[in-house]
Structure 1
Amino acid sequence: MMKDFRAFVMRGNVLDLAVAVIIGAAFGKIVTSLTDDILMPIIGKIFGGLDFSSYFWRMGAVPANYAGSLTDYAALKKAGVPLIGYGAFLTQAVNFLIVAFIIFMLVRGVTKAGALIEREAQRLKREEEAATPLAPPAPESAEIAILREIRDELKARPRV
């Protein structure tokens, strides 16, 4: 069983997937930073607040022993107050759109490059076929020549 597992893990597809997951995780952190630290403050400023992730609706009562701010989303959430954090959701939605757009552009580029390579390969094949002279037909063997003569003589005889 361990031998089969080792063979499975060492296959190219599994290693490629592992590398993709690691790079994806690192890329996800970059996109999260872009979203949280650059884009969402700009969007928040447009909509009247600097911290867009603090936009929420409180759905229930605040506990009596809560001493924090009533506008602090993280503290209210930690205290167990039921909240709808639409700002945090919108932040994640923008994060997703950025990642989806980048993946779209990557796939689009790879597809265009593949099509370009395929067209170039077809063009080179056509050029090669056009440049290659046609080989002269092989000389006829003696047996074939004799058989043709017999056929022709049989055709020439009058029918009885």
Structure 2
Amino acid sequence: MGTMKEFKEFAVKGNVIDLAVGVIIGGAFGKIVDSVVADLIMPVVGMVFGKLDFSSLYIVLGNVPAGTGTALADLKKAGVPVFAYGNFITVAVNFAILAFIIFLMVKQINRLKKEAPAPVEAAPVVPEDVLLLRQIRDSLQK
């Protein structure tokens, strides 16, 4: 039963829950970045380079069976080895954008973070007997 108690304490610690929330938000954020790259950036980049669709750039590395289409999906379905460098370009751009956005977020968070004020040192605690002796001394001096 001790192991279950330890596991429960581990699972409900703030760090574990924060990590889980971060992973979930990161997954959703990754989909947004995928959409930005695929739907907004890559079409513009493709247009600049002569209306290229980067996702369809590949080099066939093996023999293509008769009757197989020339589309990348058809070649992969037929088991033909292909060097799909266009997809890699898309994923690399995706990563660069995601890394840059995270960099900007961390930079902004660090800028907004205020330095923690220096801890105020507590006054030394004077024992009660010393206080009483001081009171007696002060009353005798008057």
Q: Counterpart in 1 of 2:115?
A: 118
- Partner Cα separation in structure 1 for residue 106 and residue 20 of structure 2: 19
Instruction: Compute the displacement of 1:30 (Å).
Output: 0.3
* C-alpha RMSD over aligned residues: 2.3
- Partner Cα separation in structure 2 for residue 41 and residue 55 of structure 1: 14
Q: Counterpart in 2 of 1:27?
A: 29
Q: Counterpart in 1 of 2:64?
A: 62
Cα offsets for 1:87-128 (capped at 9, x unmatched) = 1000000000011001101111112222xx228x47xx9xxx
Paired-residue identity, %:
51
Q: TM-score, normalised by structure 1?
A: 0.68
Q: Counterpart in 2 of 1:6?
A: 8
- Partner Cα separation in structure 2 for residue 101 and residue 60 of structure 1: 37
Q: Counterpart in 2 of 1:74?
A: 73
Q: Could you tell me which amino acid in structure 1 is paired with residue 43 of structure 2?
A: P
Q: Counterpart in 1 of 2:43?
A: 41
Number of residue pairs the alignment of both structures matches: 122
Structure 1 or 2, whichever has the larger Rg, is 1
Instruction: Compute the displacement of 1:65 (Å).
Output: 4.5
Q: Counterpart in 2 of 1:134?
A: none
Change (3 A) 1:79 1:49: farther
Q: Could you tell me which amino acid in structure 2 is paired with residue 118 of structure 1?
A: E
Q: 4+ runs of 1 displaced by more than 4 Å? A: none
- Alignment gaps of 5+ in structure 2: 121-133
Q: 1:118 is paired with a residue of what secondary structure?
A: coil
Q: Counterpart in 2 of 1:93?
A: 92
- Partner Cα separation in structure 1 for residue 52 and residue 67 of structure 2: 28
- Partner Cα separation in structure 2 for residue 76 and residue 46 of structure 1: 27
